[in-house]
């Protein structure tokens, strides 16, 4: 009986879960390689298997993220057993080549999930390890923010089908590829969102370029390539409107069976109509299509001030933008606070109203639009609306800028984490007034196509995006204060 009980206890002991000991400090260290067979960086490699032994129990978060370069097909078989990884090679290996097995961020400890970042195992089928290396950094072209987790590859040609060598950037955007065989390569980087080791449209990417030298740091600028083949998204946003969501020129959409009013911006085109059709037929870039109307909700009226205080004072007019097409304005419904009547508002287009401000005090002002002051083509009228305007310069800061080595087609932007605050064409001496107190960044880009917006690169044509300069210091704007900045915009 005692023997049976002893065997029973062994069975249960063998099935026990691996659990961390209680108490003490939490484990914050990643697994550590304590041995490998064959040894890491072995030369004259002839084995078909590799055993990696770690100092704690491990798991692989993503086997698909483990890659071997140069390419090895069929892919190796990977097995995790407790504290070790068994790697079975079934592909033929080239002679006199150094191979790198890149585990990326796949290896972590079993209990705490601490990741062993960018672990690599290297071996050579020749008598020496290839010793050339390249290092560099990845930034976003427009913001210059560093990009972690990007795939950086060296390719034999511009077909970019699969990198011959590759690595990943760390959290600071730095990368290092070692053990490279001397030769000619194309360097190319991208965010491999679906981990297929290929660039797919919609992933952040750099322009592929010949690697002329391995010396020094290689800086790659990432951007999102515009998808010109993307299908246009069309939605029926109200009983009187459609939105075509894509960057389209104003003449690339034609409505075939209705008349109405167009409202275009950089991201979408909105079509308004005041009858009740069953469907709308349209032509986009010569291709006919239609959408059945399903939304019976009345459109919401939105009114907002489109120009900032500096432009209002300079132009002596307030610009109000509407999301609904405007039919008429009633001047007796537009007044400044205190009862002083504003100069008669002027309709600039179906979505824009101009309100002159000569009769305003240019201090703290409140423009009031009484209910029904604006009638819309959709049959709606506005509710009571007001805009509070602070014209007092003591509540704002001023930025004085001197520019050297600049181009006449450069655009300056002052921005924060959410929006662009100021935007101006560059000149040698600039004075920007009425900046709200806060902390901002400053950016200048070269507007090569004169569209007043930054344009990214093109992969197929191997064209880089427009030049971008980021001022290194933060702009700390204070009320009733002036800040002087000098910009050297030499490329």
Question: What are the tens digits of pLDDT across the range 446-476?
Answer: 999 999 999 999 998 999 999 999 999 999 9
- CA nearest to 378, candidates 175, 241, 237: 241
Q: Do domains 33-179 and 303-391 have the same CATH topology?
A: yes
Structure tokens at 90: 């079934």
Q: Does domain 303-391 bear CATH number 3.40.50.10190? A: no
CA angle, corner 385, sides to 384 and 388, nearest 5?
Answer: 140
Residues 214-241: tens digit of each pLDDT: 999 999 999 998 876 667 789 999 988 9
Which pLDDT does position 323 carry in this prediction? 92
Residue 24 confidence (pLDDT) above 70: no
Question: DSSP readout, 8-77?
Answer: HHHHHHHTPPP-PPSSSPPP-PPP-EEEEESPTTBSS---SEEEEEESS-EEES-GGG-EEES--SSPPE
Token pair listed for 84: 């070790």
Average pLDDT over residues 154-177: 90
Supply 166's token pair: 């590759």
pLDDT grade for 124, boundaries at 50, 70 and 90: very high
Across the range 310-319, mean pLDDT stands at 91
Distance CA 317, CA 306 (A): 11
CATH number for the domain formed by residue range(s) 33-179: 2.60.40.1220
Max intra-chain CA distance, the chain: 106
Q: What is the mean pLDDT of residues 124-142?
A: 95
DSSP 371: T
CA–CA separation, 14 vs 8, rounded Å? Answer: 10
Residue 107 host element (H or E): strand 107-109
Give domain limits for the chain: 33-179, 233-292, 303-391, 394-488
Q: State the pLDDT at residue 249.
A: 56
pTM of the model: 0.77
CATH superfamily of 394-488: Carboxypeptidase-like, regulatory domain (2.60.40.1120)
How far apart are the two ends of the chain, measured CA to CA in Å?
87
């Amino acid at each position: 009986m005692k023997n049976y009980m002893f065997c029973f206890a062994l069975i249960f002991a063998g099935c026990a879960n691996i659990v961390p000991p209680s108490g003490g400090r939490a484990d914050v260290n990643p697994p550590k390689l304590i041995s490998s067979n064959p040894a890491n960086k072995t030369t004259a490699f002839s084995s078909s298997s590799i055993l990696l032994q770690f100092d704690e129990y491990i798991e692989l978060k993503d086997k698909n993220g483990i890659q071997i370069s140069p390419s090895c097909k069929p892919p190796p078989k990977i097995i995790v057993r407790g504290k070790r990884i068994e790697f079975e090679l079934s592909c033929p290996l080239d002679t006199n080549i150094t191979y790198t097995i890149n585990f990326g961020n796949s290896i972590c400890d079993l209990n705490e999930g601490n990741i062993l970042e960018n672990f690599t195992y290297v071996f050579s089928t020749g008598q020496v390890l290839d010793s050339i290396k390249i290092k560099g950094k990845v930034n976003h072209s427009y913001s210059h923010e560093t990009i972690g987790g990007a795939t950086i590859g060296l390719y034999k040609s511009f077909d970019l089908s699969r990198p011959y060598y590759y690595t990943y950037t760390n959290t600071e955007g730095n990368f290092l590829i070692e053990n490279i065989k001397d030769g000619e390569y194309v360097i190319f980087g991208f965010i491999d969102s679906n981990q297929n080791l290929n660039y797919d449209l919609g992933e952040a990417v750099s322009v592929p370029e010949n690697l002329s030298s391995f010396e020094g740091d290689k800086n790659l600028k990432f951007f999102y390539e515009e998808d010109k083949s993307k299908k246009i998204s069309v939605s029926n946003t109200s009983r009187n409107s459609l939105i075509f969501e894509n960057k389209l020129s104003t003449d690339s959409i034609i409505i075939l069976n209705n008349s109405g009013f167009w409202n275009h911006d950089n991201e979408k085109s909105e079509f308004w109509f005041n009858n009740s059709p069953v469907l709308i037929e349209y032509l986009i870039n010569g291709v006919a299509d239609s959408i059945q109307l399903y939304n019976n909700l009345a459109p919401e009226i939105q009114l907002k001030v489109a120009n900032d205080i500096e432009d209002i004072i300079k132009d002596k007019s307030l610009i109000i933008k509407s999301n609904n097409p405007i039919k008429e304005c009633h001047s007796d419904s537009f007044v400044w606070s205190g009862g002083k009547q504003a100069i008669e508002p002027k309709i600039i287009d179906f979505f824009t109203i101009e309100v002159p401000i000569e009769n305003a005090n240019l201090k703290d002002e409140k423009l009031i639009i009484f209910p029904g002051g604006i009638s819309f083509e959709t049959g709606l009228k506005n509710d009571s609306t007001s805009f509070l305007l602070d014209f007092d310069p003591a509540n704002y800061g001023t930025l004085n800028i001197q520019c050297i080595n600049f181009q006449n087609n450069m655009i300056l932007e002052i921005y924060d984490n959410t929006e662009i605050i100021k935007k101006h064409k560059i000149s040698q001496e600039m004075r920007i007034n009425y900046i709200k107190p806060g902390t901002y960044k400053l950016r200048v880009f070269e507007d090569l196509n004169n569209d007043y917006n930054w344009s990214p690169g093109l992969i197929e044509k191997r064209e880089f995006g427009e030049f971008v300069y980021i001022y290194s210091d933060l702009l700390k704007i204070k009320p009733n204060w002036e800040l002087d900045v000098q910009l050297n915009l030499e490329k």
